[in-house]
Amino acid sequence: MSWSGYVDSLKANYAGNVAAAGLFGFNGSTWAQEGFDHAAANYQEIIDLYNLFTDPSSGFANGFTFNGEKFVLVKCSEDSLQAKSKAEGKNPFSVEKSNQCLTIARGVDGSNGGSLSLAVGKIADYLKANNY
């Protein structure tokens, strides 16, 4: 399966509720994405997001920007991060860290953050099991 197939699978795991999704290397490289064009071109946002796993304090205090959109950090653990957009819809945002990449998705207006996190987690778990 090509990397874009994983993005399609992620979107299928929460059909109709994923506005954007992607797989990104820890160094800011884009493996595959749909709807995250700004982040792909501005790889520093990917690196900054990855660094929140090491020290989430700035994300809790000031939020963060991804794909040109502002987010409030809600939860951050060793391999999982959840946030909400600061925009009117408060869209959920979920990131799972695997061995070599970040699996990321942003939900549509009205989507459920927990369901989005489960959809992202399924892909990340598969990648971890296959050393990605």
Q: pLDDT digits over 38-86, tens only?
A: 887 889 999 999 999 999 999 999 999 999 999 999 999 999 999 999 9
Rounded to two decimals, the pTM is: 0.94
> Which amino acid type is present at position 111?
S
Q: What are the residues facing 83 on neighbouring strands? A: 73, 93
**Distance separating the N- and C-terminal Cα atoms of the chain:** 13
Write down all domains in the chain, each with its CATH number in brackets: 3-129 (3.30.450.30)
Q: How far apart are CA 100 and CA 23, in angstroms?
A: 10
pLDDT tens, residue by residue, 20-44:
999 999 999 999 999 999 887 889 9
pLDDT tens, residue by residue, 5-14:
999 999 999 9
Asked if pLDDT for residue 105 goes beyond 70, the answer is yes
What is the chain's Cα-based Rg? Answer: 13
Query: What pLDDT, on the 0 to 100 scale, is given for residue 89?
Result: 81
Listed in order, strand segments (DSSP E) in 1-132 are: 18-25, 30-34, 64-66, 69-76, 80-85, 92-97, 101-107
* Nearest-10 Cα torsion for 112, 75, 26, 19: 20
